[in-house]
Amino acid sequence: MPDHPENLDAVLDRVSGFWSEEDIARLKDAYQFAEAAHSEGPPRKTGHPFISHPLAVAEILTKIEADPATVIAGLLHDVVEDTDVTIEQIEERFGESVAQLVDGVTTLSRLSFQTRQERQAGNLRKMFLAMAEDIRVILIKLADRLHNMRTLYGLDVEKQRAMAQETIQILAPLAHRLGIWRFKWELEDLAFRYLEPEKYYEIAQLLGVGRREREARIEAVRAAVRGRLEQAGIKATVQGRAKHIYSIAQKMEKQDISFDRIADLAAIRIIVDTVADCYAALGLVHQLWIPIQGMFTDYIAKPKSNKYQSLHTKVIGPDKQPLEVQIRTWDMHRVAEYGVAAHWRYKEDEGTVGSDDQIALLRQVIELETDLTESHEFLELLQMDLFNDQVFVFTPDGDVIDLPAGAGPIDFAYRVHTEVGHRCVGARVNGRQVPLSYTFRNGDIAEIITSPNSEPSRDWMELVKSSRAKSKIRHFLRANMRAENVAAGREALRRSLEAQPPKLRRLIDIEKLEPLLESFGFREKDDLLAAVGYGDIEADTVVRNLIALEDVQPGSLAEEVERVLAESGSSATKTSGIPAISVDGVNGFQCRRSRCCSPLPGDQIKGYITRGRGLTIHRGDCKNLRYHERIDPARVIPLAWAAQDRKAVFQHELEIVAVDRVGLFSHIAAVVAECGINIATANASVADSGVAHLNMRLDIRRRQDLDHVLERLRSLIDVISVRQLSLARNSTS
């Protein structure tokens, strides 16, 4: 099977008869547009033309029955990132819905989950916010990653492993939680192939050895089931179901068994027309073969959180070996295969996405976004919900509540209501009173016991497993246990400082927090300590900022800066001030860009007519602009960037604080160069503590370029912080 379709015909074949003529015409136009945009660029690392990738992404999206806007956006998803095409051009030609999807995917393409925890957490947060706004952005991202994994052989070994690690840790579990089975198993197998090639090929070879016997066995089972169903008058399709290599490897590892001891490699799936037929088929299967006790699960009565429904049973098959059987309707099968794509409605006329029953995962993520302030905390809690198995517990009224595996009464209580959680003192499970440390099992019926005098304690944090419970408990501790939080925060800072090198420990006083209060948004030192104590702010983050406050003196790093800049041909002198720039719809004004918000092409902008200094351009979300809009609204006017400014070069100054080492600036300069950005000027100094301060002016064309280089710099292991300073327009551009 080829890695990609040869041309658009493969995609057209899949949508003909389902799409309108108008949508098919838009698809053809999008293909021509993308092909022309990518024609001047380099081929893919595999040697194929670049258009082969977006074409493959579009085909993958048709296989999960994505709507026309999503497939068209899949074709166009790289044009803004890799060519001179703008979002405005896409919106003008293909409409607002497609443009928003392409813009969302372009933003996600700049996120890396291969960085240290704090950066990874921030990027996960951004991804889930994009996901909550329009789930189709994530569908395109997953399709994009699936094709990139299929063609990973074109990259070097280091990049193969990095992408495979990101795939198996983040994107495959995400596909699982969204219920997109087709994406999940292939992403896992492909990632496993590059992460553990010896194990992968060993299992693949063992599967190949007994393949004919397994296929003959499955065919005999299918024939027996089909015959019994036909006798009962049940219309059904009976399929063999392959076990995938990664799932086999996981089972071998978890159960500590060898391949030849895996007895349930055979599995079948029965697809029928109605729910009643599902249960009738189950009865017939149990008549044919003896069911294995404890191996039946009814996901029709209690669906998984990703809306998956089926009957699962395991029986002793005709050759005395275990046989897995899944039974579902065609509608259930579609949800199982396509996941979230199967039950979200796409309202293009309104530019929104919705469903009758919004996915609980997205609601929980948005709630975390509201409750939490620290990225590491967001990552910790999100991983609990996204990557853990689940347990299903009933309320006394028969409602099903899904919780992370290992959850107990406190988790259950907070899912019912925050106040129920706060007042929880115990629970009755299946009519029997249990302690708060009890761990739920599937099918438990739970009733929470409360007391008006009860309140959360720190010990609860060790018992709960769900993100909702942890965030609500932290919120309570933050609001009600100030003295304890201040003491806990001071102790956390002390432990963090002890982990620093001796020369830094001698310089830092954790009691002198006043210079950090404004940057962290606090008025009093105890407020900051309390925030550390209840987990809103990481102790290591505060200590890094204390280190960065140290006075700096010239050091050997300055010589390295001079050498690297000389080799690259960059200037070592500062450029002139900010000359006027032109903006669409404005004539006769001297236009200047504000220093307070540093607008760049790609930002939404407005202008403020000053008294005697012409027109000052601000970002639309600038706080100073909002002040002018309140005080003197007549002087604020809407603006848009002129065409020539989208290609202009603006100088943007950054301050980088990092741990000094040999080759530090060379490494930073290389990262900037990889982003396609020129360093105009730079200077550096190093404190006695070993902390380096670098000031660099970069030539920036648009906001996306700046965001990209900021993310890359902040992900470097030696970098403590990156801060944006003033801007200037390059007079030679």
Q: Which residues of 82-94 are buried (b: 16+ CB within 10 A; e: fewer)?
A: bbebbbeebbeeb
The one catalytic residue in 23, 65, 82, 526 is 82
Active site residue 198: no
Long-range contacts of 20-26 (CB under 8 A, 24+ apart): 23/68, 26/68, 26/72, 26/94
Position 197, amino acid: P
Active site residue 349: no
The token duo for 396 is: 């006394």
Pair type for strands 267-272 and 322-329: parallel
State how far the Cα of 705 lies from the Cα of 598, in Å rounded to an integer. 14
Q: At which residue do the structure tokens 């082969």 appear?
A: 52
Q: Are 493 and 459 in contact (CB under 8 A)?
A: no
Separation in Å, CA 314 to CA 185, 229, 267, 296, 325: 21, 18, 9, 7, 6
Q: Are 317 and 289 in contact (CB under 8 A)?
A: yes
- Output DSSP code: residue 445: B
- Output DSSP code: residue 344: -
Q: Are 679 and 669 in contact (CB under 8 A)?
A: yes
In 3D, which of 277, 264, 266 has the Cα closest to residue 240? 266
The Cα angle at residue 622 between residues 617 and 623, in degrees rounded to 5: 130
The one catalytic residue in 81, 367, 380, 629 is 81
State how far the Cα of 232 lies from the Cα of 270, in Å rounded to an integer. 14
Alpha-carbon torsion (14, 17, 19, 25), positive or negative: positive
Measured distance between the N- and C-terminal CA atoms of the chain, rounded to whole angstroms: 49
Alpha-carbon torsion (466, 467, 472, 475), positive or negative: positive
Q: Are 130 and 78 in contact (CB under 8 A)?
A: no
Q: Supply the residues annotated as catalytic.
A: 81-82
